[in-house]
Amino acid sequence: MKYVLASSSERRQELLHRIISDFKVEVSNFDESTVSFNGNIEEYVINLAKGKAIAVRDSLNEEAIIIAGDTVVVLENEILGKPKNEEDAYRMLKELSGKAHRVYSGIVVINMYNNKIEEAALHTEVKISTLTDKEILSYIKTGEPLDKAGAYGIQGYGGVFVEEIHGCYYNVVGLPLNLLNKILNKVRD
């Protein structure tokens, strides 16, 4: 069986190698702005992941098992995406400072060999320490926050700000391995 990851994320690729040694990467051309947020975060991240998976499925010339995911950071029902610039990263980190938030991921797997589709979502609760302006500005200078949802990377320098975590660590990184493994087992049956 051939596997395809519908993501350009280096973190997702690195994590997927822990479950599947050989896979192709096909970046989805799915327009995420076509998915509207209706207040249900789990449904939202599943619909984003499903859009990516379907776009890749429709572009392939061969059968494969397609894996797609999407992850968002949510603070008090506000979705914090990737910051637009350093000022936006500062704003997000200031908002997260001293508070707990949730990281949601949606995973969709399409098995083109047997036409099975499985989807699921989960969340992890993360508490960030109270951050000083100096800590925030020093972190922004590393460049790490600029391509991360919520403006921090738990697996990088941003991990020093994480005071508590309840749930799947790999979900916060961007690919919940335990959930994905369960989904893969279902679609391969």
Q: Which of 22, 31, 58, 70 is catalytic?
A: 70
Q: What is the mean pLDDT of residues 154-162?
A: 96
Give buried/exposed letters for 16-30 (b at 16+ CB in 10 A, else e). beeeeeebeebebeb
Q: What is the CATH number of the domain that holds 174?
A: 3.90.950.10
- What is the domain count for the chain? 1
User: Active site includes 31?
Assistant: no
Report the distance separating Cα 174 and Cα 102, nearest Å.
13
Range of the domain at 177: 3-188
Query: Does 40 score more than 80 pLDDT?
Result: yes
User: How many helical (H) and strand (E) elements, i.e. helices and strands, does the chain have?
Assistant: 6, 7
Q: Is the pLDDT of residue 189 over 90?
A: no
pLDDT in the model for residue 81? 87
pLDDT band per the 50, 70, 90 thresholds, residue 77: confident
Question: How large is the average pLDDT for residues 162-179?
Answer: 97
